[in-house]
């Protein structure tokens, strides 16, 4: 069907019909394995979702992409007919997608992001949600005969999902070639230039990233990778998005940008890192050192304060939790949870727009940091470190920050990772930190 573009939306003409039913226990893997595009996967400790096929799509470009998607999403849900009696919240249709990191084009050499617009969302033809030991199937169809098609789809997928094929997710593709951007020598120069700006006082913090381009020895199965990441990173947001037959963006990110339920906002500051120890005692020692590190606390507080400042105009109250250590398989981070109660009803995409990019992935002041990133990084960030997630008809939703991520085709993968540069940052230590942040994606490929 016609894409529903943010600016030139055709949504007003379209009626979308949704249907849903309960399926019972099981996984959502079969939907992720489908050849149909777009496809989206989302897994948290609370729920797993797989979605495929587009009953409607929304795309937008440039700085107004957040507002355009918000307007098109609202218009689309206004045209959505749900079954009489409604659907339980777990089974309600959602729009899945995300945004590019930068406002404008940033075409580095050989960008792997060709099939990723500035913003892309879709209302899936098929959505399966697993939560609390149950699975729910939701189907949608648009235009003429929509109700019949949504019902036929429901019956067909209900049957399809009754049998779960056994899958062996153990095989990794293997790595044939590696290409780093930048080299370690060039990185030292880049961090040196950023530090000069910090010393001059025009910049407090900038997050510089690196890219690792891999050629793979055999075909990559992203659903297999996601199954393995569920074992190693169960507490992270595990996501997969293939907008079309081109590349797939996937990752296991520890960082929530924002979630909104009613008027309750949950977000966090995650910045400041150290490694894992070989023993529990060494882990504890590293965590204690991190909690005591003036440089890391400074790097972290810039993020916590910026998030509080961005939320305050929307909020009746903002609560900043205690600083703690978030321990992941290969790294440990400083983390502060931040919650807010909104003064009025808001759409989650308004909060996404206000918060992105936090200084955990951009820097401070934001404009100077973004300029430094554009002038320094010789590759296209694409959707790396940008908001990815879902939104529903009520304007609720959850968005993660797309770090610990890769963009891949069957035989190539480009991994991204970055580090916050502040006064006192040491280029070689930051280099080592970036290598640790590649591990979640790298370990699943080699
Ligand atoms: C930018 C990344 O991590 C951010 C999140 C946690 C800790 C970070 C740090 O210590 O630099 C970064 O701000 C990345 O993983 O690519």
Which candidate in 125, 181, 205, 268 is catalytic? 205
Atom of ligand 1 nearest to the CA of 272: 10
Cβ atoms of residues 166 and 31 within 8 Å: no
Which candidate in 125, 255, 299, 444 is catalytic? 255
ipTM above 0.90, yes or no: yes
State how far the Cα of 310 lies from the Cα of 300, in Å rounded to an integer: 16
Q: Is the CB of 417 under 6 A from ligand 1?
A: yes
The closest of 301, 299, 273, 297 to 287, measured between CA atoms, is 273
Q: How far is the CA of 172 from the centre of ligand 1 (A)?
A: 26
Structure tokens given for 443: 């370990």
Q: Is the CB of 273 under 6 A from ligand 1?
A: yes
Question: What pLDDT, on the 0 to 100 scale, is given for residue 107?
Answer: 62
Q: Is the CB of 419 under 6 A from ligand 1?
A: yes
Q: Is the CB of 38 under 6 A from ligand 1?
A: no
Residue range 229-239, pLDDT digits in tens = 999 999 999 99
For the chain, list the domains and their CATH numbers: 4-160 (no CATH), 175-442 (3.60.120.10)
Question: What pLDDT, on the 0 to 100 scale, is given for residue 109?
Answer: 56
Cβ atoms of residues 52 and 138 within 8 Å: no
What average pLDDT does the chain have?
94
Whole-number Cα distances in Å, 225 to 271, 353, 435 = 26, 30, 19
Q: What is the DSSP string of 416-443?
A: EEEEEE-TT--HHHHHHHHHHHHHHHHT
Atom of ligand 1 nearest to the CA of 359: 13
Question: What pLDDT, on the 0 to 100 scale, is given for residue 1?
Answer: 34
Q: Which residues, 6 or more positions from 213, have their beta carbon under 8 angstroms from its beta carbon?
A: 177, 178, 179, 180, 181, 412, 413, 414
Q: Is 255 a catalytic residue?
A: yes
Atom of ligand 1 nearest to the CA of 416: 16
Question: What pLDDT, on the 0 to 100 scale, is given for residue 2?
Answer: 36
Residue 328 burial (C-beta neighbours within 10 Å; 0-12, 13-18, 19+): buried
Alpha helices in 122-177 (DSSP H): 146-160
Q: Is 81 a catalytic residue?
A: no
Whose Cα sits closest to atom 2 in ligand 1? 418
Low-confidence ranges of the chain (pLDDT < 50): 1-11
Q: Which residues, 6 or more positions from 233, have their beta carbon under 8 angstroms from its beta carbon?
A: 252, 254, 328, 329, 404, 440
State how far the Cα of 117 lies from the Cα of 107, in Å rounded to an integer: 12
């Amino acid at each position: 069907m016609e894409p529903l573009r943010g600016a030139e939306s055709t949504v007003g003409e379209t009626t979308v019909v949704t249907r849903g039913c309960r399926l019972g226990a099981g996984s959502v893997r079969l939907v992720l394995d489908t050849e149909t595009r777009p496809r989206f996967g989302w897994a948290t400790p609370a729920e797993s979702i797989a979605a495929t096929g587009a009953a409607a799509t929304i795309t937008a470009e440039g700085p107004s992409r957040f507002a355009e998607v918000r307007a098109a999403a609202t218009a689309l849900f206004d045209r959505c007919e749900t079954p009489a009696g409604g659907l339980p919240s777990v089974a309600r249709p959602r729009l899945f997608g995300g945004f590019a990191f930068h406002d404008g084009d940033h075409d580095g050499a050989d960008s792997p992001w060709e099939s990723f617009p500035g913003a892309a969302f879709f209302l899936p033809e098929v959505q399966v949600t697993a939560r609390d030991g149950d699975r729910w199937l939701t189907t949608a169809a648009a235009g003429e005969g929509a109700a019949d098609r949504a019902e036929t789809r429901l019956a067909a997928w209900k049957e399809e999902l009754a049998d779960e094929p056994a899958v062996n997710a153990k095989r990794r593709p293997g790595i044939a070639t590696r290409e780093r951007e930048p080299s370690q020598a060039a990185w030292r120069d880049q961090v040196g230039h950023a530090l000069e700006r910090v010393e001059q006082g025009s910049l407090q913090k900038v997050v510089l990233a690196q890219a690792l381009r891999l050629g793979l020895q055999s075909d990559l199965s992203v659903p297999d990778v996601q199954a393995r990441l569920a074992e190693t990173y169960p507490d992270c947001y595990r996501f997969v998005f293939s907008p079309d037959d081109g590349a797939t963006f996937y990752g296991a990110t520890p960082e929530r940008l924002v979630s909104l339920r009613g008027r309750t906002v949950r977000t966090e500051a995650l910045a400041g890192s150290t490694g894992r120890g070989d023993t529990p005692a060494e882990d504890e020692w590293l965590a204690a050192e991190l909690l005591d590190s003036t440089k890391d606390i400074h790097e972290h507080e810039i993020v916590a304060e910026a998030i509080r400042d961005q939320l305050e105009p929307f909020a009746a109250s903002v609560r900043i939790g205690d600083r703690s250590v978030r321990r992941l398989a290969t790294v440990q981070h400083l983390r502060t949870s931040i919650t807010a109660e909104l003064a009025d009803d808001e759409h989650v995409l308004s909060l996404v727009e206000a918060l992105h990019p936090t200084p955990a992935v951009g820097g401070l002041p934001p404009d100077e940091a973004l300029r430094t990133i554009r002038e320094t990084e010789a590759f296209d960030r694409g959707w790396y470190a940008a908001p990815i997630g879902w939104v529903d008809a009520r304007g609720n939703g959850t968005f993660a920050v797309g770090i610990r991520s890769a963009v891949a085709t069957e035989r190539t993968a480009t991994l991204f990772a970055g580090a916050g540069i502040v006064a006192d940052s040491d280029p070689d230590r930051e280099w080592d930190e970036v290598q640790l942040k590649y591990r979640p994606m790298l370990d699943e490929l080699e």
